[in-house]
Structure 1
Amino acid sequence: KALKRDEAHEGAMYWSGVAHLYNYQFDEAEDYFRKVVNKRGDYAGKADAKWKLAQKIVRAMPGTPAGKKMALKEKINRADLAVLFAEELKIGVLFDRMPVQNTGFQTPGQATQTANVTVPNDAINHWAETWIKDMIRYGIMDIEPDGNFYPDDTINRALYALAVQRLLVVATRDESIETQYFGEAQSRFSDVPSSHFAYNAMALCTERGIMQVDMMTRKFNPAGDVTGADALLIIRELQTSLRMTF
């Protein structure tokens, strides 16, 4: 009603932008927030933050209902990552398109016809159980030694890089990827030693343009949270890398 009374009222425009954002109408939300920011009024500050989020989501182009929902998350967890890989990266389709070799190799998609997947204790009846099973079946994500998956554990940037590295190894069947950058005398990052457990994965992802570092400080920020929008942007870069591979 406020918007109908005064279409130029910044408060009404801001909340209209919020409504569009959380109804997954990201282009419309971006437009509302941009207009509020340009007014330079009381709502400009928080509108700017929402505008940047909407812009990032539009660039990430979530193509599924699950992806659109995840795009709004301030930080993702292991279950979210399983869903994003399955739905937005479409791992099953990707792997079934892998070239056939004459060595008896089965693609993960072919292997699913005979493979029995153990469901982790804490994934039974979990909302993401189906996607978690897919990631375990494809060898992208693992069950911990205690039989749990820990679906609600937060994924940081280092762990995301490790997941991307594992996916690339499975997709290309090139296990040397996991040690490609081991032994570098000088770290590529100002905040990560080359002895870090995820150093190879971080170097791999930045070398291929899949993940970014701060250009000014050369920091990777391995412990930093991964937002849903950032996770989607990384997936888009990963798709580009995989297209180049195949």
Structure 2
Amino acid sequence: MMIRLWPVFVIALLVSISCGTRVPIVTTPEYPNFVFPGIPTTYGGGLQLQDQQSAWAFLQTGDLNGAKHRFEELLEMDSNFFPAVVGLGWVDLAEGRFQEAAAQFRLALDQKEDYVSALVGHGDALYRLNDIVSALKSYRFAVKINPSLLRVERIVAELSLQVMTDQLVEARQFGEDGRLTDSEQAYREVIQGSPGSAFLYVELARIKQQQNELSEALVVIGQALALDDTYAEAFLLQGDLFESNGELELAVSAYTRANAIAPSELTADALSRARSGLRAVDLPTEYREIVTKGEITRGELAALLGVELGGLLRDAGSEVSTPIFTDTRNYWASQWVIEVARAGVMNVDGRYQFEPGRVVRRGGLAEIVAATLLLIAEFDPESGRRWRAARPRFTDLTSDHLNFDSASIAVGADVLDLSENGRFLPTRVVSGRDAADVVAKLTDLFERVR
């Protein structure tokens, strides 16, 4: 059997430790938050737990020089005794030497990466050095190993919120500055620390949308909805992504969910737009080109109304005979011309001509809008009375003007607007885009009341 022989100087040192200076008795620890660096079961050297406890007693009674001397003596006996290195780290921390403390704890962690006392001490030192992210990483590892560290657990919660807030501000700022790659990376780091926050996925999906990576954006928004399937904003963005991809049926479904959860003008407009786009897929080319035109004609306006408000118009004209036209037989939108005429929204002149090619001006548009609003008012009489009673102040229309009453109703319902100086501009030509916006407002009003 081999007998381990200790050098004479080591024996002398042990005698000095055990007999030289009396170990103080700890009544109230000077540093109650410090974590005692115990001896791991894997340690195979000659030092004992009592040796480490003796050095720690000096620290906890406030004798930092005595503690430092004891830990250094232990290291002289065994240079690989990393619990003493951690003890020195705690001494440095108590003295406010945070850089030196962090280095000591790091030395110990290089030998045993899951050594809890070193992890906590490393976190404390890094926190004092304002390296919050690294401190949080060290704290989290310590709590994962030992969940009973209540102080550390509390610090983890507080720092996680602080780090997430700082990183979120940074991620948003990167996005505003157009640094989309940096923004994406910052969002992913925030999500790593708070994987259960649906709003973070929504914001990341917006960044992916700006990068024109729609497929990946849809994956990310799907993760948000998996966390919260009542998140209206997530459904709204999902609908926008589907719409951009040309997947209009899925867009309508997503917008419908958003509008059902949190109805607003934004969700209603998006739903109306997607439904219109879906309907327009099978519509004539002439219809799809309307919004691009600088001037809209009566026939084109009839098409917009017929497609978007077909249900309202058909109900209103269900018991009315089909008018006689002499100029729309071969017109591409003749079916919708019939619908608006039967509903009384657009009139035929005494010569039985609809004049589908005549340009629409704001005065004529006001007449059509007012007639449509009165049909909608049959479903919502209170709004109808309010629209009829509205008396906007026009600077270019008097009460005896041909379009005054209709313009008052249309402006009173917020379907048509005035210029900055209060002018209605009845002779101004209406563009296809403007007409589409007006019909969208009418559709929204009808959707709300029917």
Partner of 2:351: 146
Partner of 1:16: none
**Aligned: 1:77 with 2:297:** yes
Retained in 2: the 8 A contact 1:95–1:171? no
Retained in 2: the 8 A contact 1:181–1:200? no
Question: In 2, distance between residues paired with 1:122 and 1:181?
Answer: 37
Retained in 2: the 8 A contact 1:119–1:133? no
Aligned pairs for 1:213-224 (under 5 A) are 213-214=418-419, 216-224=420-428
Question: In 2, distance between residues paired with 1:237 and 1:70?
Answer: 17
Question: In 2, distance between residues paired with 1:95 and 1:151?
Answer: 18
Residue in structure 2 matching 1:123, options 305, 328, 331: 328
Partner of 1:189: 394
Bigger share in helix: 2
The 1:245–1:78 alpha-carbon spacing in structure 2 relative to 1, beyond 3 Å, is same
> Counterpart amino acid of 2:434?
D
Question: In 2, distance between residues paired with 1:94 and 1:143?
Answer: 20
> Counterpart amino acid of 1:69?
E
Partner of 1:22: none
**Aligned: 1:232 with 2:232:** no
What's the CA shift for 1:232?
0.7
> Counterpart amino acid of 1:90?
L
Deviations 1:153-204 (Å, cap 9, x if unpaired)?
Answer: 1110111110011112233347x87x9359x6xx711111121111111111
What's the CA shift for 1:131?
1.6
Partner of 1:200: 405
The 1:236–1:118 alpha-carbon spacing in structure 2 relative to 1, beyond 3 Å, is closer
Question: In 2, distance between residues paired with 1:172 and 1:188?
Answer: 23
Question: In 2, distance between residues paired with 1:190 and 1:244?
Answer: 32
Deviations 1:45-93 (Å, cap 9, x if unpaired)?
Answer: xxxxxxxxxxxxx9x9452245531001111111011101011x232x2
Partner of 1:180: 388
The 1:181–1:145 alpha-carbon spacing in structure 2 relative to 1, beyond 3 Å, is farther
The 1:68–1:202 alpha-carbon spacing in structure 2 relative to 1, beyond 3 Å, is same
* SS in structure 1 at match of 2:327: helix
What's the CA shift for 1:109?
6.0
The 1:145–1:109 alpha-carbon spacing in structure 2 relative to 1, beyond 3 Å, is closer
Partner of 2:211: none
In angstroms, what is the RMSD of aligned CA positions? 3.0
Question: In 1, distance between residues paired with 2:412 and 2:377?
Answer: 17
Question: In 1, distance between residues paired with 2:404 and 2:447?
Answer: 24
Deviations 1:71-128 (Å, cap 9, x if unpaired)?
Answer: 01111111011101011x232x2356xxxxxxxxxx33643xxx54133111122222
Q: Can you give the 5+ residue segments of structure 2 that lack an aligned partner in the other structure? A: 1-242, 246-269
TM-score (norm 2): 0.34
> Counterpart amino acid of 1:232?
A
Question: In 1, distance between residues paired with 2:389 and 2:350?
Answer: 27
Retained in 2: the 8 A contact 1:158–1:198? yes
Question: In 2, distance between residues paired with 1:147 and 1:206?
Answer: 30
Question: In 2, distance between residues paired with 1:129 and 1:236?
Answer: 21
Partner of 1:242: 446
Identity %: 21
> Counterpart amino acid of 2:300?
D
Question: In 1, distance between residues paired with 2:318 and 2:327?
Answer: 27
Partner of 1:90: 309
> Counterpart amino acid of 1:108?
A
Question: In 2, distance between residues paired with 1:229 and 1:120?
Answer: 28
User: How many pairs are equivalent?
Assistant: 171
The 1:232–1:221 alpha-carbon spacing in structure 2 relative to 1, beyond 3 Å, is same
Q: Can you give the 5+ residue segments of structure 1 that lack an aligned partner in the other structure? A: 1-25, 29-57, 97-106
What's the CA shift for 1:224?
0.5
Partner of 2:316: 108
Question: In 2, distance between residues paired with 1:192 and 1:205?
Answer: 14
> Counterpart amino acid of 1:129?
S
Retained in 2: the 8 A contact 1:208–1:241? no
Aligned pairs for 1:19-30 (under 5 A) are none
Aligned pairs for 1:36-75 (under 5 A) are 61=273, 63=277, 64=280, 65=283, 67-75=287-295
* SS in structure 1 at match of 2:435: helix
Question: In 2, distance between residues paired with 1:190 and 1:83?
Answer: 32
